[in-house]
Amino acid sequence: MERDMRMAASLFLWALTLSVQAADWTLLTTSTDLKKITYWYVDKASVVSHSTLVKAQLRTAWSQTQFGPDNTGYLSTTYISYVDCNRRILAYTANTYYSDFDSTSEPVHQEPEMPLTELNFAPARAGTPGEMRINYLCKSYEGSSSKSI
């Protein structure tokens, strides 16, 4: 019994360690507006694909404070993005807003993750950061072994 409890505790700690791995943020692009620079990142460690659907953790950060509907200020947000590579459409869910640029402070606002079936997929306009995210995620992970989303 004691051995089973130690094994269960070891498995729990191992699973917890896997879930707390540090993000591997890679800068995808920045805006050209020098008055308010926007930075778009992808967490390369979070990218998983299944067939033509790719899921990744993304982050957007600003050089100036942004304000939410309740007038709460934030400098960055992390969120989950799904990209349908065949149809070249994307959707976002699970936004978390932070008062700091690096998304390491306590969140100032969080939105729950919605089920995939409830997301509103939309095309990205040519030349926008949305199109760059589609291109990056689909190109980088096409032909990769599928992982469960």
Domains of the chain: 22-141 (2.40.128.710)
- What is the chain's mean pLDDT, rounded? 84
pTM (two decimals): 0.79
Residues 6+ apart with CB under 8 A from 105: 98, 99
Question: 111-120, pLDDT tens digit by residue?
Answer: 999 999 999 9
Backbone angles phi, psi at 26, to 5 degrees: -120, 125
pLDDT for position 92:
96
Mean pLDDT throughout 89-108? 97
Percent of the chain with pLDDT over 90: 70
Residues 6+ apart with CB under 8 A from 73: 65, 66, 67, 99, 108
Question: 18-33, pLDDT tens digit by residue?
Answer: 344 589 999 999 998 8
